Amino acid sequence: MTSRSRGELRFEIAVILAGLTAVVISLVRWRFGLPELNVVTIAALVLVPLAVRLQTSISRDPTDLTLGVASAALFAGGFDERATILPIWAALISASYFAFYRDDTGGQFRAAIQIVGGAALIAGAKFADFGIPPYDRVFAGLAAYFLTISALEIARRLLVSSDGEGKIPRLRWTWTFLIGLAAFYIGCVLAAVHDVETGRPLAVVPSLVVIVVGLTAIVVGQTMRNRELNRSVEALSGAAVTMPWRKDVIAETLSLWGAKGLRVKEVRVGDNPGTRSDLAVPLIDGRYAVAERSSGGLPFTQVERHVLEALANMADTSRRESEQREKLRDRANTDGLTGLSTYTYFREILAEVSRLRSPGESIAIVFIDLDGFKEINDRYGHIVGDRAIQVLAERFIKHTGDSENVTRYGGDEFAVLVRRVADYAGLTEECERLTALVSRPITVGEHTLRLRASIGSALSSSADDQLESWYGPPTSRCTSASGPSMPTTRR
């Protein structure tokens, strides 16, 4: 049971009483004679429960505003007589809602809205006379029916909301038009058959016009739907083939396929969901995929909404896969303890830097091998030793400005990439700076450690140098790729 305000309960009771009143008034008129129940009338009434079951929501709100063709059954009865089939139709409507749409009122509030609308339909049809029977009565009756149930629903939204935030329902105009058109033609057929059975002649020209217009509407509607489906399938299949989309062009790709699948020039990705007339779908990065409705353009259909939702899902999937690949790549290229580059990734960076350097630019590698580090692990434990390695790695990152320029290729061995080296003297100064970083005391808990290291270097002055001969892990003194051996500096 859902909680409802006192005002909402009063409104529901008032509508139910209004429906009962309309039925009672119709029953009172039966004292002048019962309504005609011919074969057409009985067949139409038998189909009322099915028509109620197949009704469709024509609003985009949590509380649906529904519309069906059940009202068309009323046209199978006569409107000229005092007695009408409204009480029988209302009983079938009430029983159908109780069976199919039971809610806090047993479905009777929704049934009452339909019954009040049916009473308005009969009143509107009875007094409509535009000279083209029975089509004028069908049109006027259905207009009165739809306006009545819409007015009741809007009144409920606006007047009984306890928090003052009642809103007019947003209609799905495509479904509204299609259901209204179907009800009109079913009503026309039933009313025409009724008139023929009662000996009333039908106007030939209006009948032909109604038939031709109806068939034309069906053909045009089916053609438009086929075009919409073809456009949607083409866009979705094309977008799916290109999956996953590159992370840097996800927004552009979404816009491209959105323009092909919807009746818009582009689908933009932004922080603003647009206006109420626009079609917006949230993305996982907090932004929105928005299809903007052009001025005077037709509202977006449910198919177009599904297309945009599917494209947005593809964009989200591509982003997640890209981020997952980046995480896996970072995990594969990063040393788990220090956050430095792995040795394999460092080799790739070195090869790329060497290939892209400008003519005459020298690069170097400084190899750092901690001396006696095993004694620290044996004396203080691996937890203290690991923390010391982490502190030293943090110093190297801060010094070079990038963790990719430093690698730990052994338990206590590091290599540092130095770019734009002027000469051997400049490389020696860099070695001394790195030596100073190593020799600075490291405090881990209550322990203060002073590390020592053997530092060697290798220099390359040309992109043509064979780097394989000198950037592997050194087992002895380092050599320069462009000259004689460099002395190993020991501190």
Q: Which fold has domain 343-490?
A: Alpha-Beta Plaits (3.30.70)
Distance CA 472, CA 478 (A): 10
pLDDT band at 4 (very low <50, low <70, confident <90, very high): low
Instruction: Kindly report which listed range (169-183, 231-245, 301-315, 428-442) carries the lowest average pLDDT score.
Output: 169-183
In the chain, CATH 1.10.1760 sits at 6-202
What does the pLDDT read at residue 24?
A: 93
Q: Could you please report the per-residue DSSP string of 436-464?
A: HHHHS-EEETTEEE--EEEEEEEEE--TT
Token pair, residue 373, equals 């580090």
Q: Which fold has domain 6-202?
A: Arp2/3 complex 21 kDa subunit ARPC3 (1.10.1760)
Instruction: Kindly report which listed range (60-64, 298-302, 329-333, 380-384) carries the lowest average pLDDT score.
Output: 60-64
Q: Could you please report the per-residue DSSP string of 343-362?
A: HHHHHHHHHHHHHHSPTT-E
307-366: pLDDT as tens digits:
999 999 999 999 999 888 888 888 888 888 888 888 888 888 888 888 888 887 888 899
In the chain, CATH 3.30.70.270 sits at 343-490
pLDDT at 39 over 50: yes
Residue at 490: amino acid letter = R
CA 389 to chain centre: 46
Distance CA 266, CA 259 (A): 5
Distance CA 289, CA 310 (A): 11
211-265: pLDDT as tens digits:
677 677 767 767 877 888 888 899 999 999 998 898 888 999 998 999 888 888 7
Instruction: Kindly report which listed range (106-115, 309-318, 404-413, 455-464) carries the lowest average pLDDT score.
Output: 455-464
Q: Are the beta carbons of 365 and 416 closer than 8 angstroms?
A: yes
**Which 3 state secondary structure label does DSSP give 102?**
coil
